[in-house]
Amino acid sequence: MKFLQHILHEQKKNFLPGGKLEKFYYAFEAIETLMFVPDSTTASRGVQVRDAIDLKRMMMTVIIAMIPCLLFGMWNVGHQHALATGAAMEFMDKMIFGAIQVLPIVIVSYGVGLGIEFGFAIMRKHPVNEGFLVTGMLIPLCLPATIPLWMVAIATAFAVVIGKEVFGGTGMNVLNPALTARAFLFFAYPAYMAGEIWTVLGDQKANLVNGYSGATALSIAYETSSSGQGEVVAAMNNSWSDGLFSFWNLFMGVVPGSIGETSTLMCLIGAVILIVTGVGSARIIVSVFAGGYLTGLLLNALAVNAFMALPAHYHLVMGGFAFGAVFMATDPVSGSQTNSGKWIYGFLIGAMCVLIRVFNPAYPEGMMLAILLMNVLAPLIDFYVVDANKKRRLKRATV
């Protein structure tokens, strides 16, 4: 590492003002500070923390928190392929198969996104926005493994240019960029995002196990929502493979779904990392789960169909609920900023997710639209929280 650091140090003079590669300085600076802790600190004597931590280090913490979801997602892709085709695959066989399917999606996401970020940085002469370090991983994890690579490239470009750069870059965006990419694909290419095509089959589509469909738990829940009370859970527990969609399987994540969204357990491991390091907001995470669960209980009490009667705790482990709560809703830019606002913001995301799932048949997932909607309303929530605080303090001051 010292050898590599020495090489970068020697080449740096070519990128400084007056060097032959001066216009590419910010691209060089981004690579250098990503690989090594910067040697500069805050020079002022104000009340600031003057150490080597920077935004890149914080973003890397989020990426580390997502690694359990990524690794499990790769294994699960191979596992679902084995279930679909009846192939005898060991643990490493599933990991290798999944890696072959997943890693190209990650590479395309980072390649396209960082390429655009570097281009804007060079053109505008400003440092590269570090936010894409996280977005570049979030985009693949919230997509199915069957998604064509060219769609990943288009969606990533749309997220960076329309979701971030038009607002001024990292720290200025209104919507979560990764969810912007997913929403773009959902509306532009809905057939590739449907809940029936999540299993990678390759050239073996003709070798499907009898009765296997690749449907997700949410698609099954929606299809049976017009049945009698209890039919949703019965259909899930009695589906192919003897209870594929049992609560335990949904919690562990051994079900069809997006690459990184299926395992609630892996998401909770990531949540612990984010909360312990202070990078993620525990208020938002807890309130999202609380909002979803309490709304589920309310629907249980008012149930007139099977989907409304679905036990509330099932909503917390189905689809991308946990992944959205931990990694999407906690976005420090597009989420609420005040402490009280975070509780309200998170609770409404959880509640809206369940309501969209149950009452809007066109969007059975719910989490994506719930977070995007609350991204738009987050500034309004903070405004009223701050306004209420001002009025309360003014009242105390004038008593």
- Per-residue pLDDT of 113-158, as tens digits, reads 888 887 777 776 666 666 678 889 999 999 999 899 999 999 999 9
CA 178/CA 110 separation, integer angstroms: 12
Region 292-301 average pLDDT: 94
Residues 349 and 317 in one domain: yes
pLDDT tens-digit readout, 165-197 = 777 666 677 888 899 999 999 889 888 886 555
Residues 243 and 362 in one domain: yes
By residue range, what is the domain housing residue 62?
A: 55-201
Query: Sorting pLDDT into bands at 50, 70 and 90, what band is 60?
Result: confident
Residues 188 and 282 in one domain: no
Please give the mean pLDDT across all residues of the chain.
Answer: 80
Go through 350-387 and write b for each residue having 16 or more CB atoms within 10 A of its CB, e for each that does not.
bbbbbbbbbeeeebbbbbbbbbbbbbeebeebbeebee
What is the per-residue pLDDT for 89? 87
Region 40-55 average pLDDT: 55
**Domain-embedded: residue 130:** yes
**Domain-embedded: residue 121:** yes
Region 251-266 average pLDDT: 91
What is the per-residue pLDDT for 240? 41
- Listed in sequence order, the DSSP H helices in the chain are 2-11, 25-35, 55-85, 91-124, 132-141, 149-161, 177-188, 190-193, 217-223, 231-237, 240-243, 247-252, 264-277, 282-301, 312-315, 321-323, 339-359, 367-398
The 8-class DSSP code of residue 127 comes to P
Burial environment of residue 8 by CB neighbours within 10 A (0 to 12, 13 to 18, 19 or more): middle
Residues 138 and 277 in one domain: no
Residues 10 and 113 in one domain: no
**Domain-embedded: residue 180:** yes
Residues 22 and 90 in one domain: no
Residues 69 and 173 in one domain: yes
- How far is the CA of 48 from the CAs of 56, 58, 277, in angstroms? 18, 17, 19
What is the per-residue pLDDT for 23? 56
What is the per-residue pLDDT for 49? 54
Residues 29 and 124 in one domain: no
What is the per-residue pLDDT for 271? 96
**Domain-embedded: residue 321:** yes
Altogether, the residues listed in the chain come to a count of: 399
Q: In the listed set 174, 201, 228, which residue is the last one of a domain according to the structure?
A: 201
Q: What is the model's pTM?
A: 0.83
**Domain-embedded: residue 46:** no
**Domain-embedded: residue 88:** yes
Residues 175 and 119 in one domain: yes
Q: Does residue 242 have a pLDDT over 60? A: no
**Domain-embedded: residue 110:** yes
- How far is the CA of 305 from the CAs of 226, 228, 230, 234, 302, in angstroms? 6, 6, 9, 14, 9
Contact 207, 86 (CB under 8 A): yes
Residue of 229 and 325 predicted with greater confidence: 325
Q: Does residue 280 have a pLDDT over 80? A: yes
Query: Sorting pLDDT into bands at 50, 70 and 90, what band is 229?
Result: very low
Residue of 229 and 143 predicted with greater confidence: 143
Q: Which amino acid is at 119?
A: G
What is the per-residue pLDDT for 142? 92
**Domain-embedded: residue 207:** no
Sign of the alpha-carbon torsion through 271, 276, 280, 282: positive
- How far is the CA of 230 from the CAs of 110, 227, 236, 307, 333, in angstroms? 44, 8, 10, 8, 41
304 Cβ contact partners less than 8 Å away, ≥ 6 residues apart: none
What is the per-residue pLDDT for 162? 87
- The dihedral over CA atoms of 54, 337, 186, 94, expressed in degrees to the nearest 10, equals 50
pLDDT tens-digit readout, 302-325 = 988 778 888 899 999 988 899 999
CA 165/CA 158 separation, integer angstroms: 10
Number of domains in the chain: 3
Residues 18 and 106 in one domain: no
Residues 195 and 306 in one domain: no
Residues 157 and 221 in one domain: no
Stated as kind and residue range, the H or E segment containing 18 is none
